[in-house]
Structure 1
Amino acid sequence: MTLNCKGQLLDLDTPKVMGILNITPDSFYDGGSYKSEDDLLKKVNSMLLQGATFIDVGAYSSRPGADYVEEKEELARIVPIVKLLIHHFPDIILSIDTFRSTVAEECLKHGAAIINDISAGNLDSKMISTVGKYKAPYILMHMRGNPNSMQHKTHYKDLLGEMIFYFSEKVALARESGIQDIIIDPGFGFAKTLEQNYEILKKFSLLQQLELPILTGISRKSMIYKLLQNTPKEALNGTTALHMYALGQGSKILRAHDVKEAMECITLFNTIDTK
C-alpha cells in the first residue's frame, strides 16, 4: 500500500505514526497546551524527531459536548498554524482534522497534504469534491450524527457489516470525485458504546476486505480510561497495549498523542512480524 502526499510516495507496508496537534482550548487530553508559537514548534519538532510521518492539526474539538466553533474562528485558529509549520518544517506532511470544506481548501492551498474528516463528507456536502479537486489523500471516518448527537446513535443490528457498507458507499463517492488515496478510520468512540469499540477491535481484520489502509485513533480515549477506571493522563499504558493489538490486526497508521511510544510499538511489531 502506498500514499501519495504532494508527490511524495509513502510505503504503508511499514506502519506509520500520525502525531496529534490539537490547537483547541477544550480537547479532552491536551486542550490549551500551547501558550506560544515556540511551545507549538517545540512540540512538533519533538514529534518529528521521534518518528512521526504525519502531523494531524485540529482546531475544532470533536469530543462529546464540545463547544460549537464558528467557521470563521476555525479558520482563524488553523490557517496561521499551517503557514507557521510549513515555514519552519518545509518537508512536513500535514493532515488537517476538519469536517468543513472551506477549512480544508484553505489549508490545502497553504501546503497541507491530507484531509482527515470525522464525518466522511456527511457534515459538508462540498467536502469530497473539494478534496478531489486538490487530489489530496482523504481519511474517511465512521460516525453517525455529529459530535453532540453521536452518543445517542449507537444502535446497530450488525456493527461491522454496517460500517463496511458505509465505507463502501463513501469510497465510491470519493472515487467519483477523483480521490485516489483513501484511508479509513473506524471512528473509535464516535457513535459507539464502550463495548462496541472493543467489538470493532476484536473483528478489526474484517475491515481489510475494503483493501484500504486503516488508521487507528484510540490514543488515551475513554474506551481505555473508563474501562481501567483511571484518567486520560493515566491511559498511556492502555493505549500502547491496544496499539500493538491493532497493528497485529492490520492497522497501517497509529494516530497518537505519544509518538515515541507508538513508534516503539511499530518497531517491536515489525521485529516480530519479520521473524
Structure 2
Amino acid sequence: MKCYKLSSTTDVLSLFQSLGVTKEGIAILKQKAHLNFIYIKDLKSPAANILKQDALSIGADLAVPKETITCKKPLVDALLIANDKQLKELSFKEKAQPFGLKALAQTLSQFSFTCKDDFTVMGVINANEDSFFQGSRFNGKSALHRIEKMIDEGAGIIDLGGVSSRPGSLAISEEEELLRIVPIVDLIAQNKLTCKAKFSLDSYSPLCLEYALSHGFEIVNDITALANDAVARVASKYKATVVLMHMQGAPSSMQKAPLYDNVILDVDAFFQERIEKAHAFGIHNLILDVGIGFGKTLEHNLQLLKHHEHFLHFGYPLLVGASRKSMIDTIYPAPIEKRLAGTLALHLKAYEHGASVIRAHDVYEHVQALSVLRALNSTF
C-alpha cells in the first residue's frame, strides 16, 4: 500500500470522478472537502460560548479569546473553522439560539459557495495621455488595431477609458472626456467589434456613458459605484451590466493616509449599500470590484486580495484590477514597465480566491497564465 498527500488546491470533484464515486457520493463528499475560515467581529460573549459548543458538537471549532468563558468582556472577536457541511449544520442550529445568533445564522448561510474556475480577461485601452501606464494609451486607428489584437489574444471584455483615475489625477469636463472617446467608440461600432467581445466604458459621466451604450457597449465600469443617480438612470435605460468599485475618497486625494476600522467589513458594508441602490434603479446585472489601490495602503490591498473569496457571498462576479499598480513597486521596487510578473502573481492569487473578471493591460500573458492555472487546479 502506498499513499501521498494532495495539494489543497486540487480539484476534488475531478478526483472524486476519477475514483468512480457515485453522483450521490460526490454531492455529500464535496461539502466536506472545502474548509471555511470565517472571522466574526463583536460577538456577544454568551453567544461565543454557545457557538463554540455547537461548533465542537459537529466537528467544527471556534477560536476565541481565553477570557470568553468568564464573559468578562461583553463582546469578543472569533474565528470559525468549518467545512461546507458543518457550516450548513451550524447555520441551522443557531437559528434557535439567543444573543444575536439567529442573525448570525442567516449570515453564515450565505457563505456556502464554491469558486468557479472560469475567467474573463478585460483588456485595458486608454484614450487619454495621462494614464499611469503609457503602454495602454492609444487613439484612432492605433486603438482599433490594439483592440483587435487583444480580442485575438483572448480578451472577453475591452475596457475603454478617457480619464485617468491614477492617484493624484484631476477630473476633466464631460465634454472633454466625450471628445476623447467618441473616435474610438465610433471605430468599434463601424467595425462591428461588439460582435466579437463585450465593451465597457470606464467612466462616471452620464453623457459619455449614454454615447457608448447607444453604440453597442454593454458594461458601465463606474469607479464611483453609482454615486451619481444620473449614471444609474442611464445604465438602467440600456439594461447595462454595472461594475461597482469601492474607492475611499477621490482620485486626487485617495492615497493620503487611507484608514479603515476593518477593510474587509468596511468594503462589504459599502457593497451592500450600493447593491441596494442599483436594485432600486432596476439594475441587477452587477460585478463587484474591491478597488485595489483606490484609497488603500499596501496592507489593505493585500488583505482584500487574500480574502477576496469573502465577497462572493453577494452572489455576483468579482473583478480584480491590480495591473502594474504601485503596490508591486512597494513590495519589490520596479518601474511600471517591469511589473508584469508582480501583476500576474496578484491576479492569479485573486483568481484562486474567487475573481472571475481580470482587468489587465497584458491580455496574452494573462490568458496563458490563467489557462495553465485552471488546468493545474482541475487535473488530478
CA distance in 2, matches of 1:232, 1:44: 21
Comparing 228-237 and 101-110, the one that deviates more: 101-110
Work out whether residues 194 and 217 of structure 2, in 8 Å CA contact, stay in contact via their aligned partners in 1. Answer: no
Q: Equivalent of 2:172, from 69, 77, 87?
A: 69
Q: Unmatched 5+ residue regions in structure 1? A: 1-11
Is 1:106 equivalent to 2:211 in the alignment?
Answer: yes
Aligned residue number for residue 98 of structure 2: none
CA distance in 2, matches of 1:160, 1:90: 36
CA distance in 1, matches of 2:194, 2:240: 18
Output one character per residue of 1:200-232: Cα deviation in whole Å (capped at 9) or x when no partner.
112111111112100000000001123211111
Aligned residue number for residue 4 of structure 1: none
Aligned residue number for residue 9 of structure 1: none
**Bigger relative contact order, structure 1 or 2, given CA contacts below 8 A and separation 6+?**
1
Q: Equivalent of 1:133, from 237, 242, 246?
A: 237
Work out whether residues 131 and 179 of structure 1, in 8 Å CA contact, stay in contact via their aligned partners in 2. Answer: yes
- The ranges of structure 1 where at least 4 consecutive aligned residues each deviate by more than 6 angstroms after the TM superposition are none
Aligned residue number for residue 95 of structure 1: 200
Q: Equivalent of 2:316, from 212, 226, 234?
A: 212
SS at match of 1:150: coil
Letter in 2 for 1:98: S
Aligned residue number for residue 21 of structure 1: 125
Is 1:203 equivalent to 2:307 in the alignment?
Answer: yes
SS at match of 1:155: coil
CA distance in 2, matches of 1:142, 1:153: 16
How far did residue 83 of structure 1 move? 1.3
Work out whether residues 25 and 32 of structure 1, in 8 Å CA contact, stay in contact via their aligned partners in 2. Answer: no
Aligned residue number for residue 30 of structure 1: 134
C-alpha spacing 1:147/1:201, structure 2 compared with 1 (3 Å): same
SS at match of 1:140: strand
Output one character per residue of 1:14-66: Cα deviation in whole Å (capped at 9) or x when no partner.
111000001110001127843x5232122111100000001000000000122
Structure 1 vs Structure 2: percent identity of aligned residues?
37
Higher Cα Rg, which structure: 2
Q: Unmatched 5+ residue regions in structure 2? A: 1-115
How far did residue 265 of structure 1 move? 2.0
CA distance in 1, matches of 2:331, 2:144: 34
Across the two proteins, how many residue pairs are aligned to each other?
262
Letter in 2 for 1:112: F
CA distance in 2, matches of 1:120, 1:209: 19
CA distance in 2, matches of 1:26, 1:113: 25
CA distance in 1, matches of 2:263, 2:171: 29
CA distance in 1, matches of 2:318, 2:349: 13
Instruction: Give the aligned CA root-mean-square deviation in angstroms.
Output: 1.6
Aligned residue number for residue 49 of structure 1: 152
Work out whether residues 225 and 244 of structure 2, in 8 Å CA contact, stay in contact via their aligned partners in 1. Answer: yes
SS at match of 1:120: coil
Q: Equivalent of 2:163, from 42, 60, 64?
A: 60
Work out whether residues 54 and 93 of structure 1, in 8 Å CA contact, stay in contact via their aligned partners in 2. Answer: yes
Work out whether residues 264 and 304 of structure 2, in 8 Å CA contact, stay in contact via their aligned partners in 1. Answer: yes
How far did residue 125 of structure 1 move? 2.8
C-alpha spacing 1:70/1:215, structure 2 compared with 1 (3 Å): same
SS at match of 1:252: strand
Comparing 97-106 and 156-165, the one that deviates more: 97-106
How far did residue 149 of structure 1 move? 2.1
Relative to its length, the structure with more helix (as a share) is: 2
Counterparts of residues 1-275 of structure 1 (less than 5 Å): 14-30=118-134, 33-34=137-138, 37-88=140-191, 89-91=193-195, 92-122=197-227, 124-152=228-256, 154-275=258-379
CA distance in 2, matches of 1:193, 1:234: 21
Work out whether residues 122 and 155 of structure 2, in 8 Å CA contact, stay in contact via their aligned partners in 1. Answer: yes
TM-score (norm 2): 0.66
